[in-house]
Structure 1
Amino acid sequence: MELQLEQIREQQKETWNKFSPGWRKWDSFTMNWLKPLGDEIIRSLQLKPTDTVLDVAGGTGEPGLSIARIVTQGKVIITDLAEGMLQVARDNAARKEITNYDTLACDVCALPFENETFDAISCRLGFMYFPDMLLAAKEMMRVLKPGGRIATAVWGTPDKNFWGTAAMGVINKTMQLPAPPPGAPGLFRCASPGFIAHLFQQAGFKNISETEVTGQVPCGTKETYWDFTNDVVAPVVAALSKADQATKDKIKQEVFRVVDERCPDNQAALDYGAVIIYGEK
């Protein structure tokens, strides 16, 4: 892997390990509103009880642990770049008394598995952060058995994801932050229509389909939304770390105004939209 991609990988590893305590804190909240994405991945994979499944970028354990409950005679390998996230996954598995799984910290661009190992692969919200997305897709293709299935979820366009743009939109406007480099890892890196489908085609997958999933992040209050973004949304934390207290206060109040404007019922239920892409080897 070339130096620039290695730097991206190490930066991602550092970021996700750093934020793993925040993800632990907000795990129940986050996994609740992300569940429809995992459900659609699971539905599309048409899992059998004997399947061996790879869950890539599994984070705190989902949808891998839900899959483990289905493949009762099989097994799930949950991988992630960040060991800190996988520790949360192991704790979640122990609490749910799930045992037919393993965790492994590794790079998706160099999966440590033999060819044709897995019946299915799930990957919820991982592709946006991979250093080399095509190499990752090819690696997934390599470790799938002939006829194996893959399903991944990525965020849709910014206009469908108010939960992700409310805070960063205000921060970018207030602090006049420079635009990230084209193709840099981020929420909307894969949002262009057909982006992942085309990537799957390049990697050799067939019978590719796309399904949109929409919903809301049920924050309840704008204060909860603010606290959530400050604990787990890395770009928000990174930007605010460079702001003085007066600027932070100004940004916070403007975010509250924007949320109230979009959600006048004071429930702070913020829209999200994702795309689930399915393919076969």
Structure 2
Amino acid sequence: MESQLEEIREQQKASWDKFSPGWKKWDTLMMGFLHPMGAEIIRLLQLKSTDTVLDIAAGTGEPGLTIASLVPKGKVIITDLSEDMLEIAKENALLKGISNIETKACDVCELPFEDDTFDAISCRFGFMFFPDMLMAAKEMARVLKPGGRIATAVWNGPENNFWITATMDTIKKNITLPPPPPGAPGMFRCAGDGFMTNLFTQAGLKNVSQTEVTGKLKIQTTETYWTMMTEVAAPIVAALSKTDEATKAKIKKEVFEKINERYPEGQVAIDSSALVIYGEK
């Protein structure tokens, strides 16, 4: 792997290790938010009870843990770059009484599995973080059995995801952020229509399709929204760490105004949109 890609990978690992406590704290709320995308992945994978499944970039364990409950005679290997996130996944498996899983910290571009190992692969919101997305897709295809199914979710465009742009756009209005280096991870890196379907096709997958899935971040209050976003969203935390307290206070005030204008009655439930891409080997 090129040194630049290795650097991005190591930055990602350090970031997810650092933010794992925040993800653990907000796990129930975030997993509820991301559930519709995981449910569509599972629907497309047409799982059999004996399947061996790989869940890539699983973080705190989903949708891998739900998949494990659907393949009682099979097994799920849950992977992530961050050991700390996988520790939370193991805790969640114990809490749910799920035993047919293994966890493995690894890089998606160098999967430590033999060719033709898995019946199905899931990857919910992982591709935007991968240094080399085509290499990742090819690695997934390599370890998939002939006839195996793969499904992944990526975020749709920023205009459809106010839950993140409410804060990030406000930050960009108040702080001059350096442009990200070419190939750097980003929320909307995979959002272009046809981007992921083309990537899957390039990786040698067939019967490729794309479906939009919408959801809601049911955060209830603006204060809860701000607290959560500043504890789990690495780009937001990184940007705010580079400015003074007065600017942070101004950004917070403007974010509150944006959210409260859109949800004047309270009960904040912010729309989101993702794309779920499916393919077969």
Please classify the TM superposition score into its range, dividing by the shorter chain length. over 0.9
**2:173 corresponds to:** 173
- Matching of residue 49 in structure 1 with residue 53 in structure 2: no
Q: In 2, Cα distance between the equivalents of 1:204 and 1:237?
A: 38
- Matching of residue 37 in structure 1 with residue 68 in structure 2: no
**1:209 corresponds to:** 209
CA contact (8 A) 2:131 2:183 kept: no
**1:226 corresponds to:** 226
The Cα offsets for residues 237-262 of structure 1, whole Å up to 9 and x where unpaired, read as 00111111111111100000111122
- Matching of residue 164 in structure 1 with residue 154 in structure 2: no
- Matching of residue 190 in structure 1 with residue 184 in structure 2: no
Q: In 2, Cα distance between the equivalents of 1:33 and 1:239?
A: 24
**1:269 corresponds to:** 269
Q: In 1, Cα distance between the equivalents of 2:76 and 2:119?
A: 10
Q: In 2, Cα distance between the equivalents of 1:272 and 1:183?
A: 24
The Cα offsets for residues 177-214 of structure 1, whole Å up to 9 and x where unpaired, read as 23323432011010111111000000000000111101
The Cα offsets for residues 2-35 of structure 1, whole Å up to 9 and x where unpaired, read as 0000000000000001000000000001001111
Q: Report the 3-state secondary structure (helix = DSSP H, G, I; strand = E; otherwise coil) of the residue aligned with 1:72.
A: coil
Percent of aligned pairs sharing the same letter: 66
Q: Report the 3-state secondary structure (helix = DSSP H, G, I; strand = E; otherwise coil) of the residue aligned with 1:219.
A: strand
Aligned residues: 281
Alignment of 1:2-151 (within 5 A): 2-151=2-151
Please tell me the residue identity of whatever aligns with 2:76: V
64-73 vs 239-248, greater mean Cα deviation = 239-248
Deviation at 1:278, TM superposition (A): 0.3
Q: In 2, Cα distance between the equivalents of 1:179 and 1:261?
A: 30
Q: In 1, Cα distance between the equivalents of 2:183 and 2:113?
A: 28
Q: In 2, Cα distance between the equivalents of 1:248 and 1:261?
A: 20
TM-score by length of 1: 0.99
Please tell me the residue identity of whatever aligns with 2:103: T
Deviation at 1:265, TM superposition (A): 2.2
**2:235 corresponds to:** 235
Q: In 2, Cα distance between the equivalents of 1:215 and 1:262?
A: 17
**2:153 corresponds to:** 153
Deviation at 1:215, TM superposition (A): 1.7
Q: In 2, Cα distance between the equivalents of 1:117 and 1:207?
A: 20
Q: Report the 3-state secondary structure (helix = DSSP H, G, I; strand = E; otherwise coil) of the residue aligned with 1:165.
A: helix
TM-score by length of 2: 0.99
Aligned-pair Cα RMSD in Å? 0.8
Please tell me the residue identity of whatever aligns with 2:205: F
Q: In 1, Cα distance between the equivalents of 2:77 and 2:93?
A: 12
197-206 vs 266-275, greater mean Cα deviation = 266-275
The runs of 4+ residues in structure 1 deviating greater than 3 Å are none
Q: Report the 3-state secondary structure (helix = DSSP H, G, I; strand = E; otherwise coil) of the residue aligned with 2:11.
A: helix
Q: In 2, Cα distance between the equivalents of 1:182 and 1:113?
A: 29
Q: In 2, Cα distance between the equivalents of 1:53 and 1:227?
A: 35
Q: Report the 3-state secondary structure (helix = DSSP H, G, I; strand = E; otherwise coil) of the residue aligned with 2:209.
A: strand
Q: In 1, Cα distance between the equivalents of 2:30 and 2:133?
A: 25
